[in-house]
Amino acid sequence: MDLAAIIRNVPDFPKPGIQFKDITTVLLQPSAMREIVQGWAARYADYRLDAIVGVEARGFIFGAALAYEMNLPFVPARKKGKLPAETVSESFALEYGTDTVEMHVDALKTGQRVIIVDDLLATGGTVEAVARLVRRLGAEPVEAAFVVELPPLGGRAKLAGLPVHALVEFMVE
């Protein structure tokens, strides 16, 4: 499967200069989804995982599919103000300003081993904040899994200490 060819590049979205990697074209191909999810499930079969954490919003699609495939709990990491029960929050820097991610305090337990899933690794700020949430709940992020990595944006270095697994790389900023 040529995943790089299936992912649609949309230039100048959401603003000039950004090469947006659109994974909705992957969602249209069940065989591609199956290969991604089954590949991850095989990779993580012996990791003794307790849960899959998915990052809002596109990380929910891939993360929930992986959790289902592996028969594991799925934990959503959501944008601020979306989760109804008691939460923990972590903020991270954006180009302008900050953003905040939250998880329910009872979503993970001490010592649990999790994979964090998102569609794309850019600067790493989002998943770095989600990893902090996981650790604050006493759980251990053992790897972060992405469909796409944009290596020039340096996310791998930002996630230092957390292994990164990505299926396709694009050398764009």
**Residues acting as catalytic residues:** 58, 95
DSSP assignments along 124-171, one per residue: SHHHHHHHHHHHHTT-EEEEEEEEEE-GGG-HHHHTTTS-EEEEEE--
**CB-wise, 70 or 122, nearer to ligand AMP?**
122
Helices (H) and strands (E) in the chain, counts: 6, 9
Cβ 23 to ligand AMP shortest distance, Å: 8
Query: Shortest Cβ distance from residue 94 to ligand AMP (Å)?
Result: 8
Distance between CA atoms of residues 110 and 53, nearest Å: 15
| Interface contacts to ligand AMP, rule CB under 6 A | 18-21, 55, 58, 118-126, 155
* Cβ closest to ligand AMP, residue 44 vs residue 146: 146
| Least distance CB 124 / ligand AMP (angstroms) | 5
Do the beta carbons of residue 117 and residue 53 sit within 8 Å? yes
Which of residues 118 and 143 has its CB atom nearest to ligand AMP in the complex?
118
